Chain A
């Protein structure tokens, strides 16, 4: 079945620096790759997604890159701010469901 590995599990960066989270997968049939942000005590929220017909998508300080040949996709956050502190989950489209990574706890240090 589908499987996705997410790294790192925790990440701490200085405010203003960039953060990168990477996910690798095994099922080449996946065509949809979303990223979710979950603040403490709240529900996961979709922040950006990418489909397999594009290699990169950007939305202000957030970008996602996809390499289907190497089977990995990454979330890039530039100019990090304190409100970026949260747990981030990558996911990919499986059969009638999403398959989620294990999550990355991102901490932005002032």
Chain B
């Protein structure tokens, strides 16, 4: 069966520091991969998605970037964090963009 992992589970970072969040999927090949951010008490904001290795589509122009170095690995990065980057970061996968499944999430607090 398929499993999706995210780490770390929680992270506290100072403003201006770099960020790297990792997501990996097991049990499937060539999945579509997604990064979402959820601010406290808010909805799901799609940040990036990828339909294949090296293919990244950006939904919002921010100080964040994403990379997909391997088929089942998706990385979210930032060179300098802002206070507004705080939130719950969710990775998700799907096959052909239906039935999307979410990872456990990373709770990021920027101080």
Contacts and interface: CB of A to CB of B under 8 A. Distances in A.
- Size range of the chain B interface in the assembly: 20 to 34
Contact of A103 (B43, B90, B101, B105): B43
A65 interface: no
B90 A89 contact: no
B98 A93 contact: yes
Given A43-B104, A44-B90, A96-B32, A49 B99 contact: yes
B98 to A, nearest CB: 5
Contact of A89 (B34, B44, B98, B104): B44
B51 interface: yes
B43 A101 contact: yes
Contact of A93 (B34, B42, B46, B97): B97
B58 interface: no
A89 B100 contact: no
A18 B103 CA distance: 30
B97 A97 contact: yes
Interface in B65-101: 90, 94, 97-101
Contacts of A97: 32, 34, 46, 49, 97
A39 B32 CA distance: 25
Contacts of B105: 42-43
A43 B103 contact: yes
A103 B57 CA distance: 24
Interface of A: 32, 34, 42-46, 49, 89, 91, 93-98, 100-103
